Structure 1
């Protein structure tokens, strides 16, 4: 008789809120297997997903290819990436949620963990997640909108292309406005969680993960019914030894959020640490402060 496979754990967060970092921490737990971002729910089937990946020049596929290469073919070499791509091309009619469940079965007895800062921007993606994996456990990860905004804006300064979801189109030309994806993502996540049983989801603040006591990680492990002894928690505090830490092979180097791949300057980090919900935001060309909806939601998350 085969052992039942535990439902995957999905880390849902706004962009630049620490989803990849938390995945790296959880990926160091002996009972968990954390992947890069998979972007599975951009489409209902694998064939449609591959079409979207091709239109977007392929980078959105890297996390899925790296995870599939590691779990199905044993490594993340360019050859294994090619095999992973072929594996997907042979299953174009497969629902994308079934790919996640296949990865969960390959990771067993370790429980699959998936970071996701893309699906929260789109309610349809979240709906596919909840419909195709109805027993999924969700960690709603939040970060102070000032810190998230400073980091996103610093990253965007060095980019020729910035996603339209990150811009305020009331300006000509449109300007990067981090609080738009922050509010949209967290609002969409909350709407999803309202439809799920209370025991199926948990909110976690990114800032609490840096506490020396590691209490937030211990509480999360207890919620997931995992061991949380001091040695295990100590190993989880540094995700640099995680299987997917850093860049992947040349044919699939990405799959993690930029904040864990590209270091910020000391000045950017200093500014991000000066959190406040009032006054002008440093990234705004015409300082207006945070939107009232952002302030209200941030206060509900315990930020001041």
Structure 2
């Protein structure tokens, strides 16, 4: 890929906190004939491949599994399938390139896709502002979809995920995590806003995930128009089948993850209005029965929630 081609490449990045429908939305967009949905690659948490591995090791034991999506991507694009053997070769390929920049790695993936633009949704893109800067520096003409979900639904999903991971220790760990759930939602969206507000007009859009899942035909067409890709009935229909993504299911034993577990177990689109929630009731996960802070309520209302 020439320097000019790199500059002109227009991948699509879904910016959002975890538990924001990003796995299914990425899977849907990736089924468009001109796009290709990736799992969580975590390209942009550091400047080199070796630093990416070190970044996840620092998070604690077991966090290298968060690179499963990257290994699955390399296996799929290099060998056309994800088996234990192809994924092991992908891990080895990555380990042999600690000094490869993450920009070069992202360009490598883009080059393998030919004329298709990749769609990527790693929550780590938004975990620090520097990651967004690194991403933009790599692909200055990328398109950014700011995906939002009601803070109550997001918080409940994060809380349930936390309790599943903690198992028997969930009760003891709750006190240190309940307040962080709301702060996480607010800080990530605030960071995304500060980033997207600096972009040229039409380089980013914001979309409620609930609307997309309620009326996929309407909103998939709107997203396709924004991306300047096909909007015909066949293209829209293809996007309604995220289960056709090569990353829709659970991966082989040496890279099982890469997307939300529930999505990988049941990747089919299930259109319909989500349960109605509000910004005023006490929060299920707060032991004192408190509600959202005024700053969270104000930001959620800015996104169109009530």
Q: Give TM-score, length-normalised by structure 2.
A: 0.87
Partner of 1:63: helix, strand, or coil?
helix
| Aligned mates of 1:194, 1:154 — CA distance in 2 | 32
Equivalent residue in structure 1 for 2:238, among 235, 241, 245:
235
| Aligned mates of 2:147, 2:160 — CA distance in 1 | 21
Structure 2's unaligned 5+ residue stretches are 168-172, 267-273
Q: CA deviation at 1:4?
A: 4.4
Provide the residue aligned with 1:148 in structure 2. Answer: 154
| Aligned mates of 2:176, 2:189 — CA distance in 1 | 22
Q: CA deviation at 1:213?
A: 5.7
Change (3 A) 1:183 1:112: same
Q: CA deviation at 1:190?
A: 0.8
User: Does residue 21 of structure 2 align to residue 18 of structure 1?
Assistant: yes
Q: How many residues matched? A: 288
Provide the residue aligned with 1:244 in structure 2. Answer: 247
Q: CA deviation at 1:133?
A: 2.3
Provide the residue aligned with 1:221 in structure 2. Answer: 224
Provide the residue aligned with 1:70 in structure 2. Answer: 76
- Conserved 8 A contact 1:7-1:104: no
Structure 1's unaligned 5+ residue stretches are 162-170, 264-271
| Aligned mates of 1:172, 1:31 — CA distance in 2 | 44
User: Does residue 105 of structure 2 align to residue 99 of structure 1?
Assistant: yes
Change (3 A) 1:279 1:61: same
Q: Larger deviation: 16-25 or 122-131?
A: 122-131
Which consecutive segments of 4 or more residues in structure 1 shift more than 6 A? none
| Aligned mates of 1:279, 1:29 — CA distance in 2 | 39
Partner of 2:166: helix, strand, or coil?
coil
| Aligned mates of 1:183, 1:261 — CA distance in 2 | 27
Q: Larger deviation: 181-190 or 114-123?
A: 114-123
| Aligned mates of 2:141, 2:216 — CA distance in 1 | 31
Change (3 A) 1:195 1:221: same
Change (3 A) 1:7 1:95: same
Q: CA deviation at 1:29?
A: 0.9
Provide the residue aligned with 1:199 in structure 2. Answer: 202
Q: CA deviation at 1:259?
A: 4.2
Q: CA deviation at 1:92?
A: 1.7
Provide the residue aligned with 1:300 in structure 2. Answer: 302
- Conserved 8 A contact 1:138-1:201: yes
Q: Larger deviation: 16-25 or 83-92?
A: 83-92
Q: CA deviation at 1:290?
A: 0.7
| Aligned mates of 1:298, 1:53 — CA distance in 2 | 31
| Aligned mates of 1:82, 1:154 — CA distance in 2 | 32
Partner of 1:128: helix, strand, or coil?
helix
Equivalent residue in structure 2 for 1:132, among 120, 138, 151:
138
After superposition, what is the alpha-carbon deviation per residue over 1:235-262, rounded to whole angstroms, capped at 9, x for unaligned? 2123112111021111000011244246
Q: CA deviation at 1:50?
A: 2.1
Change (3 A) 1:46 1:175: closer
Q: Which structure has more helix as a fraction of its residues? A: 2
5 Å-filtered alignment, 1:154-169, equals: 154-160=160-166
After superposition, what is the alpha-carbon deviation per residue over 1:88-109, rounded to whole angstroms, capped at 9, x for unaligned? 2232222212211210110121
Q: Give TM-score, length-normalised by structure 1.
A: 0.88
Change (3 A) 1:300 1:172: closer
